[in-house]
Amino acid sequence: MSYTPNSSRYSEMQYRRCGKSGLKLSAISLGLWHNFGHVDQLENCSNILKLAFDRGITHFDLANNYGPPPGSAEENFGRLLKRDFSGYRDEMIISTKAGYTMWDGPYGDWGSKKYLVSSLDQSLKRLNLNYVDIFYHHRPDPETPLEETMAALDLIVRQGKALYVGISNYGPIEAARAIQLLKELGTPCIIHQPKYSMYERWIEDGLLDLLGNEGVGCIPFSPLAQGMLTDKYLKGIPSDSRAAKAHGALQQNQITEERLVQLNQLNAIAESRGQKLAQMALSWILRDDRITSVLVGASKPEQLADSLACLSNISFSKIELDQIENILI
């Protein structure tokens, strides 16, 4: 049976302008870093995407290396886009990135013009699209001149392969140079995608101020600290959790006794707000109007629905913010 989206989907979501651009993003965006590779069940992927779209999520975030294996998240998304969402492309913001290793040899990584243009061409084939809405350089390249990398982003927009460009994982100094170079080229940087959560706050040391002053949007990833900021770890490390896996993104040694005490204290504040810990962690990020959107992942539709509930309460009292700061010190 063909998919028909929820007719009231746009009334359920908040939309925020991306810096000084004309683009608005849903306050919650769906990241396809995990759970959308060939190792995952395609119908579960489809159900997550349908719930997202039904609830007003318009932004779907990919990268060339998402999977596993690398490239498979783009392939699966492209397949489902054609099958389930063929009439709704113009209601979606689809982004992808390049910057990490994708193929052997000297041209399959980092930030050269050769790599970025070739990678996006491959991404477009996997996605079965003529263009993406946002194309990011995924990480700074210490060896390629930044002028070359930014010129590649400018070229990609002029070729019609992307409507907008952004950067990811850039520190304040590198970001300031990149933003200025793109401004001079006539293709402004409209968004930065950094890692940010209650436990990863480096962007507060200059980057957020820079983005606010320059009119560049901000869309944090890993807002739940790889799942640590959920109720999953309140009593320790479950056997089926990421922290229990030897090579997971969250390591067991990060779940210390001190951290468990913090998590339970934060959870108490969340409960007093009528929220789960994960919902409060997302609301805490969205309280800042310099944040355009926050990227969440989901392994099943119910998990995404749980995250979306954060939007019902993104305001914090000064008392609550002070209590959170005192816990995190």
- pLDDT (tens digit per residue) in 282-294: 999 999 999 999 9
94 phi and psi, to 5 degrees? -110, 125
What does the alpha-carbon distance between residue 131 and residue 175 come to, in Å, rounded to a whole number?
A: 25
State mean pLDDT over 218-238.
88
- The answer on pLDDT for 243 being more than 60 is no
Query: Which sign does the torsion angle of CA 105, 169, 298, 165 carry?
Result: negative
Window from 13-17, 164-168, 238-242 with minimum mean pLDDT: 238-242
Structure tokens at 124: 């477009």
- What is the residue extent of each domain of the chain? 9-226+285-314
Number of H helices, E strands in the chain: 10, 10
Structure tokens at 315: 């305001």
DSSP letter for 195, please. Answer: B
Q: What is the pLDDT of residues 61-112, one digit of tens each?
A: 999 999 999 999 999 999 999 999 999 999 999 999 999 999 999 999 999 9
Fold of the CATH domain 9-226+285-314: TIM Barrel (3.20.20)
Q: Where are the beta strands (DSSP E) in the chain?
A: 15-17, 24-26, 28-31, 59-61, 93-98, 132-137, 162-168, 189-193, 217-218, 294-296
pLDDT, residue 245, reads 55
- The answer on pLDDT for 251 being more than 80 is no
Which of 162, 24, 160, 2 has its CA nearest to residue 91?
Answer: 24
What does the alpha-carbon distance between residue 308 and residue 285 come to, in Å, rounded to a whole number?
A: 13
> Which string of DSSP letters, residue by residue, matches 122-162?
HHHHHHT-S-EEEEEE-S--SSS-HHHHHHHHHHHHHTTSE
SS (H, E, C) 224-267: CCCCCCCHHHCCCCCCCCHHHCCCCCCCHHHCCHHHHHHHHHHH
Window from 77-86, 127-136, 252-261 with minimum mean pLDDT: 252-261
Structure tokens at 57: 């999520």
> In angstroms, what CA-CA distances link 224 with 86, 140, 153, 196, 329?
32, 24, 30, 9, 18
Whose tokens are 């609550």? That residue is 320
